[in-house]
Structure 1
C-alpha cells in the first residue's frame, strides 16, 4: 500500500462493531455503521481499506481489555471488585468472595454507579407524593433501658454531691462507673446520646440573629411537624396532592453566551448570534475582562451552606417541615445549581419571597485583597511556633485572635455574603407523564463528577475553566486553609509546612471547581427507608422469588448461595462468634485467580442469574408469592 493510500484510510472506532457483540451500539459504533452503509461505501467515499495484517488494520481492532470491560459493564458486573477471603470456622473451608466496590462515579465503576443511581430513583419515587407521614411512631422504652437511665441518674447525683464536698477521689471512682454505664447505654436500643460526650464543652461563638436590612423579612407562622403537602379537590370531585420540581441557581456574574429554544425557534444570544448545542462559545463570558470571577468562585465555595439556609428559611416561612430530594450539577457557565423534588406545593409568590430573603454570611477575617504573594509568603518560625512576616519577622495574628477582633467590633461586617439567584418551581401531579421523567431529570448526573457535566470542548471554554480554577487556587476554602497566609492571618490549627496556593482541599481541585458539599441531598423525613433499607428489601424480594420458583438445574447452586451469609449484611462482619471469618485478600495471593478470569466468570454468572430471575418473575406473575414468603417491604429491583 502506498503512502497516499495510507493517508486516505479512515481508522475504525475503538469500540466493538455492531455484529461483534450483543452490546448496544455506542455513538462511535453508530457513526461507523453509517460509514459502512451501501450509500456511503468505501468505494463511493474514496476510502481504501487497509491491507490485512498491516499496522493500520491492527489498530482498527478493539483492544481485548476494552471488550472485556464493555461486556462487564453491559452485564452489570463490578469492574473493581474487592477481594474478601471467607473462612468457614466449622469446616475450615476457605474461598475468595468478590464484593462490589460500590463506587458512586461512573468514571470509577459504571455498573456500581448505575446501581446506586437506580436506588436513588427508587428512593425519590417512594417519597415524592406521600399522603401519609413516613415517620413511624416512637416505641415505648423497655424496662431495662429505664432501669439503666435511672441508675445513671443516681450516679450523676452522687458525682455532683462529691464535687460539692471536694471529694475528688470519689469523683474519679464515679467517673469510671459512669463510663461503664454509658457504654451499656450506647448498646441499648436508644437513638442518640443520653448525655454530651464532653462534660465541659467549649462555648461556641455566637452571632446576632438580626436579619440584614437589605433583605425582606420572612413570615413566621406557627410551626407544625407534618411533612405531607396539601391536597386539592377538583370541580369533578377528584382529589390531587401535587408536588414540586424545583431548580435553584446562583445570580449572574456577567453576560455569557447562551443557547435557548422557544419551541422550534432558537432564541438569539445577547451577542446577536444563534448558538447551537455544540457551539464552542457556550457558557463563556461575552466580556471576560468584566466577568466577576472572584464572586463566582466564592459563591461556588459557599453554595452548600446557602442551600442549608434556603431550606431553613423555607420551613420557617411555610410553617411545616418541607421535605426534599435532589442533586447538585454544574451549569455551562461553571456555576453550581441544584434540582430538587419537593413534597407538596407552595404559592409562587412565597417561593420568590423566600428566595429574595435567603442569604448566607461568612464570618471570617476579611480577605478582600492579598497582603502577600505566593512567591513571598509568610515563613514558619520554629522558635516562636508561628508564621511570621518574611521581612519584619513579626508573627501573624492567629485564627482565634482574628475572630476575637471581629467579635469586639459592634459594627463588624461579614467577610462575604452569598445570595440566591433565580428559582424555577414547577408543579407535578402524581401519576402524570412528567413524574417519572422529572425523577430521571433530577438524577441524570449523579453518576458523573461535577465538572463532567460542563467539560471544556473548545479553547474559549478551556480558558474560562482555567480562569475560574486560578481564582479558586488562592481563595480560602475553610478556617484551616493554607491560603489564609496570603491575607496576613494564620489558619486555624496552623502547623509547619503550609504552602499557600497549594491547599489540598477539594475546593481547589479541577474535578470539583469550588463545590465541596454533598452531591445528592435528601431530607431526613423524605421516606421511611434509606438506601440501605431499599437495597436490603430488594435483595429479600429477589431471594424470595428465587427460593419459591427455582430452576431444576440451578436449584442446588441457588440454595448453597442463599445459605451463605453476605459480608455486607449487618451481623456478618464480626470475626468472633460467627460461623464465617472474613479478611481482605490480595490480588497476588496464590488462591486468587487473575483479574481477567474473575471478570469472565462473573459475567457468565450474572447472565445466568438474570435469566433465572426472569423465568422466576414470569412464574410469579402467574402464581403470586405465598404470604409467608413475602418480605416485610417488597418491591423488585
Structure 2
C-alpha cells in the first residue's frame, strides 16, 4: 500500500496525480490507515466493487441439531465498522457500474442460450436450426429532430458529429409534439403486449391455421430489451425464435421459416394501435409503432454478418441502461422545482415538463412519477417463458457456487452429504445503511475496475474458444 505525505500541499499534489480531489484523498488516507482495512478491502472485493453496498449488522450460528455443538458462528461485531457490506444489485450502470456489469453478463448468457442453446441452461443446441431473427421496433415521429442522415447533412444544414449534443433534439421545439412523445413512452408496454398477440395471429394466418391449431404445432419464443433513442423515445430490440409446441426441445413445423417470421413481424407491428381518449386540453390519440422496422436473420455459425454473439452482446449492453442517453436524471423527480437544480438539456427538460403537465389529465398513468424516465414505466428486459433460462436461475447458480466455497473454507459438511435436518442455522440481520464515504468510493471503483479487467480477459479467451469450436463443427 502506498503511503502519501499528509502536508496540505503534498496532499493536493497527490490528489492531482491520482485524478481526485484533496478531500477525497484525505478520506482515502483515513480509510487506508484504519484498523481492519484489509478486511474492508476483502468485503468490497466480494461485492464486486459495488458503488452503493447495503450495510448489515447481525450474526449467524450453525449447530449440529443432535448434539447442539456449534459448527460455525459469525458476527458483524468483528467487522470494520461493525458492518457487513453486500452488493446493491442495481442493474443501472449510472447507479452502480459493478452490479450493472454482473447484470449485463447474466443477460448476455440468458439471450445467448436462447440463440445457440446451452445444455447447462436446459436449452438444447438444436435451437440453432430453428428460425431466429433479431428485430427492432421503433417509435413514430413526433417532429423533426437533428440527425445524421446518409446524405451527410441534417435538415438544419449541418453535418453533425456523432458526439454533437444537438443530435436527437427538436429542430423546432415550439412545434415538437412533446405530449405525444411521453404518452407513447408511457403506453409502450401496452403496444408491446398487443404486438406479441398480433404476431401469433399473423404467423397462424400465414401457416393457414387457427390460433388454437398454431399452439398445437408451434410456439413463439422471444427475449426483448428496451433502448432510449437520443430524441427520448424508447424502442425495442428483440430476438424471436420459432419452436415446436413443447418449446426449444421440439423442432418447429416444416412451414416455419425466417421469411415467414420476418413478414409476420412487420404485419403485426403495422396492426398494433392503442387509442387514448381526449382529456382536458389534450386531444384523443391513436398510438402505434413507427414505420422503421428492422428484421435480420441471426447467423448460425458466425459466418453471417449478424452473429449470435453480436446479438447477445447488443441486448446485454442496453439491459443496464435507462434514459441516460438523453441526459435525464436517474432518480425520481419529486417536484418540478428540482429541475432548476439539474443540468438538463432543453429537449429533455421539455419532455419531463410534459410528463407533469399530462399527469393531472391522466392520473392513472403516473406520468409525473415516471418523469425521470420520460414517461416510460415498463420493464426494460423481458422474455417469454420458454425462451431460455431465467436471471433468477443464473443468480442461484452463482449463489450456490459461492456457498459451496464458503462451506469448504469453513470445514462445514455439504448439505447433500448430511441427513435431512441434521444441522440448524440461526441468523438475525438488520439493515444498517448503505453506500461509501468519498475515499471508500474511490477505492471501490479501483477494485471494480480491476475485477472487470480480469473478467473481460477471461471472457475474451472463452469467446475465442467458442469461435474455434464453432469453426470446427
* TM interval, short-chain normalised: 0.5 to 0.7
1:416 to 285, 291, 314: 285
Relative to structure 1, the CA distance from residue 334 to residue 447 in structure 2 (aligned partners, 3 Å threshold; closer, same or farther) is same
Relative to structure 1, the CA distance from residue 607 to residue 58 in structure 2 (aligned partners, 3 Å threshold; closer, same or farther) is closer
Residues 171-570 of structure 1: pairs in structure 2 closer than 5 A: 240-260=129-149, 267-319=152-204, 320-344=218-242, 345-347=258-260, 348-362=262-276, 366-367=278-279, 369=281, 415-421=284-290, 422-432=292-302, 434-448=307-321, 450-455=322-327, 462-476=345-359, 483-484=360-361, 505=366, 507-527=368-388, 529-540=389-400, 558-560=408-410
Q: Distance in 1 between matches of 2:94 and 2:74?
A: 33
Relative to structure 1, the CA distance from residue 584 to residue 330 in structure 2 (aligned partners, 3 Å threshold; closer, same or farther) is same
* Structure 2 contact 49–444 (Cα < 8 Å) conserved: no
1:253-282 residue CA offsets vs partner (Å, 9 max, x unmatched): 11111124x6xxx62222332111122321
1:95 counterpart residue number:
75
Structure 1 stretch 289-298 or stretch 334-343: which is displaced more?
289-298
**Shift of residue 508, structure 1, vs aligned partner:** 4.5
**Shift of residue 56, structure 1, vs aligned partner:** 6.5
* Structure 1 contact 129–343 (Cα < 8 Å) conserved: no
* Structure 2 contact 186–367 (Cα < 8 Å) conserved: no
> Helix, strand or coil for the counterpart of 1:83?
strand
- The structure with more radius of gyration: 1
Q: Distance in 2 between matches of 1:350 and 1:444?
A: 27
Question: Is residue 420 of structure 2 the alignment partner of residue 580 of structure 1?
Answer: no
TM-score (norm 2): 0.63
When the two chains are superposed, the root-mean-square deviation of aligned CA atoms in Å is 4.8
1:118-174 residue CA offsets vs partner (Å, 9 max, x unmatched): 111111111124599x999xxxxxxxxxxxxxxxxxxxxxxxxxxxxxxxxxxxxxx
2:208 counterpart residue number:
none
Relative to structure 1, the CA distance from residue 56 to residue 112 in structure 2 (aligned partners, 3 Å threshold; closer, same or farther) is closer
Q: Distance in 2 between matches of 1:579 and 1:131?
A: 35
**Shift of residue 521, structure 1, vs aligned partner:** 1.5
Q: Distance in 2 between matches of 1:607 and 1:256?
A: 40
> Helix, strand or coil for the counterpart of 1:113?
helix
1:159-196 residue CA offsets vs partner (Å, 9 max, x unmatched): xxxxxxxxxxxxxxxxxxxxxxxxxxxxxxxxxxxxxx
1:66-124 residue CA offsets vs partner (Å, 9 max, x unmatched): 7989x958982334134152231643944135432222223333222211111111111
1:299-324 residue CA offsets vs partner (Å, 9 max, x unmatched): 11111110111111101211343211
Any unmatched runs of 5+ in structure 1? Answer: 1-19, 21-51, 137-227, 232-239, 371-413, 477-482, 493-502, 548-556, 566-570, 589-593, 619-637
* Structure 1 contact 129–243 (Cα < 8 Å) conserved: no
Q: Distance in 2 between matches of 1:336 and 1:522?
A: 18
Higher relative contact order (CA 8 A, sep 6+): 2
1:81 to 54, 75, 78: 54
* Structure 2 contact 223–383 (Cα < 8 Å) conserved: yes
> Helix, strand or coil for the counterpart of 2:295?
strand
* Structure 2 contact 107–315 (Cα < 8 Å) conserved: no
Any unmatched runs of 5+ in structure 2? Answer: 3-7, 33-40, 64-69, 77-83, 205-217, 243-257, 330-341, 462-473
1:31-77 residue CA offsets vs partner (Å, 9 max, x unmatched): xxxxxxxxxxxxxxxxxxxxx928964662523367989x9589823
* Structure 1 contact 82–100 (Cα < 8 Å) conserved: no
Q: Distance in 2 between matches of 1:341 and 1:360?
A: 24
Paired residue total: 364
* Structure 1 contact 251–420 (Cα < 8 Å) conserved: yes
TM-score (norm 1): 0.48
